[in-house]
Amino acid sequence: MKKRLIYLIAAASFMASCTKDFDDINTNPNKTTADLFNPNYLMSQAQLQFSQTGYDQLLFQSMWTQSLASTFSYYSNGDKYVLGGSGTSYYSRTWNRGYGALTLVDEMKNLVAGKPEYNNLDNCGTILRVMFIQRVTDLYGDVPYSEEGQGKTGNTTPKFDSQKDIYTAMLTQLEAASAALDVSKDKPTSDLFYGGDIAKWKRLANTLMLHAAMRLVKVDPGTAQKYAEKAYAAGTMTSIADNAFVRTDNANGNANDNTNAYLVTDDFREVRWAKTLMDYMLSNNDPRVSAIAEISAGTGKAANEKQSAGISTYEVQIGMPNGYDLNGGATDISKAPGYPGVSPADPTVANDAAAPDGKYSRPRYAVYGDRSASNIILTYGESELLLAEAATRGWNTGAAATHFSNALTADMLTLTQLNSTPAAVVDAGSIASYVAAHPLVPATALQQINMEYWVHTSATFNFNETFANWRRSGFPVLTPVSYPGQYIAGGIPRRMPYPITLPQTNGANFQAAVSAMGGDTFSTRVWWDK
C-alpha cells in the first residue's frame, strides 16, 4: 500500500495539467476542485483509518471480555474496571475513529452524487457507512447517523438517532446497496479490501446484513430472522478470500496501531493472554494456542522486554487471570491461584530483575509484533458462525453443523492473513483433527458457536467485535473482576460512556440521548442488549 497524500497528489496533478489561471494557481498551490479530485482515494483512506484501532479497543474491550489481561497500571481501565492514565479521555477513541472514517466516506459519496459512472463506488460507500456506524452504535448506543456528516451545510449539532432506527436504516441500506452493485460496471480503483472486486463487495454487503440482523436476536427476533434469511439467500461470504481486512504498511508510514501499542515496553512486558481464554483453548486441545501464544525465551525482566520470538510450545502456555497487579498486596499477581512463579533475573545480565509475569503467555511476537500486520474487520468464519446460529434457531439458512465445521476451518486459516508472510499457521492435519473432534451438538450449539466466535475474534485482535458478540450472545459466561475503586462493581461493563466533550459541543442532543437510553454509564445497556 502506498502512502496516500491525497490532497497533495490532487493538487500536483492540477498544477501540472493547467495552462490558464496561472495567477490563481501560483497564489494558492494546494487548490483543487471536485471535478479534478479522484474520489476513489477517499475509499482507501477511510478503510485504513477505520481498520486501525490500537488503544481504541485494547485498553477496555480486550480485557472486559477476558481475552487479554495485564498487571500494568495503564490497563487497569479494562482489566480491573478502574480508570487510570488519562481516564475519561479514552471514552472518545472509538467515537473519533469511527466518525473520522465516516467523514471521508461522506465526502466520497458527495463527490460521486449524480455521476452514474461511479455507481459501484457510491454503493460501496453506503456499505462502508454501515460498517463504520455499526461499531460506533454497538459501543455507545444512540448516536448521530441520519444527520451525521452535515457540517459543511451548517449542521454541527446533529441529533442522536435511536439505535433501533439506526439498525432499521442499516438493514434497508445494505439490501439496496447489494442489489445496486453491478459487476459489469466501474470498479473502485483504490480499494484496500478487495482491489475493486464487485462480486466480493456484494458478499460483504450481504454478510454485514447477516451481522446486523443477528445483533437483534434478543430484542427483535422477527426482524433478525427476516434479514438473516435474506442475507443467506442473496449470498454471504464463501471463503477466507472474502475476508475484509487491511494490511498496514510500516515502511510507508502506516504502521499497525495494535502493534504500536503492544510494543510499548511496559505493554509488551505485562500484557498477556487472559486465563479465561487460554484455559478454554487448552481444555479443547486447540492447535491455535501455539500459533498465537508464547512465553519469553529467556528469564528475567530484560528478557521479557526483549522484542524477539519466544517459546510457543503448547505445553508451557498459561493464561494470566484478570484483576491482579504488581503492588505487593492482596491483589499482587503472586497471590493469584495457580501462579506459575516468578521468572528469575538472569545472572548474566547486568542489573537484571525478576519478571513476575514472565511465565504467563503473551501474544506471539512474530504475529502481533509485526508493524505491517493486517487489521481484520469481518471474516467468512464469523459469517458461517452466525449462519450456524440462525439455522440452530430454526431459520432457513442452511445446515448448522456444516456452517460450524466450515467456521472452525476458516477461523484457523484466517490466522495466516494476519501477516504478509504467514506466521500464525496451523497445519492442515491439526485443523482436520480439531474439526472432527468438535462437531456441533444441538443441545449445546449456541454455546459452542459463540465460544468459537470469542476465540476467533480474540485471536484476530478484533476486540470491538468480541465485546459486542459477548453482550449479544451471553457467551462466554464471565465472572466479573473484583478490585478496589472500580467504576462498576458486581458486573462487567455493557457499553462505553459517551465522550466527555459532548455536553459542551452538542449538549441538547446529548442530553436527549442520555434520557432516552436511561443513563450514560458503563452499566447502561444499548437497545439490542436486553
Model confidence over 257-281: pLDDT tens digits?
999 999 999 999 999 999 999 999 9
Choice among 19-23, 170-174, 219-223, 323-327 with the minimum mean pLDDT: 19-23
Q: Yes or no: say if 140 and 521 are a contact pair by the CB < 8 Å rule.
A: no
Q: Is the pLDDT of residue 319 over 80?
A: yes
What is the model's pLDDT at position 10?
A: 36
What is the model's pLDDT at position 37?
A: 85
Which has the closest alpha carbon to 179: 200, 197, 205?
Answer: 205
- Beta-carbon contacts of 408 under 8 Å, excluding residues fewer than 6 positions away, are 381, 431, 434, 435, 438, 452
Tens digit of each residue's pLDDT (9 = 90 or more) over 407-433: 999 999 999 999 999 999 999 999 999
What is the model's pLDDT at position 410?
A: 99
What is the model's pLDDT at position 16?
A: 34
| Average pLDDT of the segment spanning 289-301 | 97
Quote the CA–CA distance of 485 and 477 in Å, as a whole number: 24
> Can you give the residue ranges of every domain in the chain?
40-248+373-473, 269-368
What is the model's pLDDT at position 34?
A: 63
Tens digit of each residue's pLDDT (9 = 90 or more) over 459-498: 999 999 999 999 999 999 999 999 999 999 999 999 999 9
- Structure-model confidence comparison of residues 5 and 429, the more confident one: 429
Report the share of the chain in percent with pLDDT over 70.
93
Phi then psi for residue 358, to 5 deg, are -65, -20
What is the model's pLDDT at position 516?
A: 98
Q: Is the pLDDT of residue 14 over 70?
A: no
What is the model's pLDDT at position 87?
A: 84
Q: Is the pLDDT of residue 205 over 80?
A: yes
Sign of the alpha-carbon dihedral angle for 398, 404, 405, 410: positive
> 32 falls in which pLDDT band (50, 70, 90)?
low
> 78 falls in which pLDDT band (50, 70, 90)?
very high
Average pLDDT value for the chain: 94
- Beta-carbon contacts of 70 under 8 Å, excluding residues fewer than 6 positions away, are 63, 79, 267, 270, 271, 272, 320
Quote the CA–CA distance of 335 and 330 in Å, as a whole number: 7
| Average pLDDT of the segment spanning 203-212 | 99
Beta strands 244-247 and 374-378, pairing class: antiparallel
Quote the CA–CA distance of 482 and 21 in Å, as a whole number: 69
- Grid cell listed for 412: 484457523
What is the model's pLDDT at position 30?
A: 59
What is the model's pLDDT at position 9?
A: 33
First to last CA, the chain: 42
Running DSSP on this structure, what letter comes out for residue 398? S
Residue reference for cell 478503510: 47
* Architecture of the 40-248+373-473 domain: Alpha Horseshoe (1.25)
**pTM of the predicted model over 0.75:** yes
Quote the CA–CA distance of 475 and 450 in Å, as a whole number: 6
Q: Is the pLDDT of residue 378 over 50?
A: yes
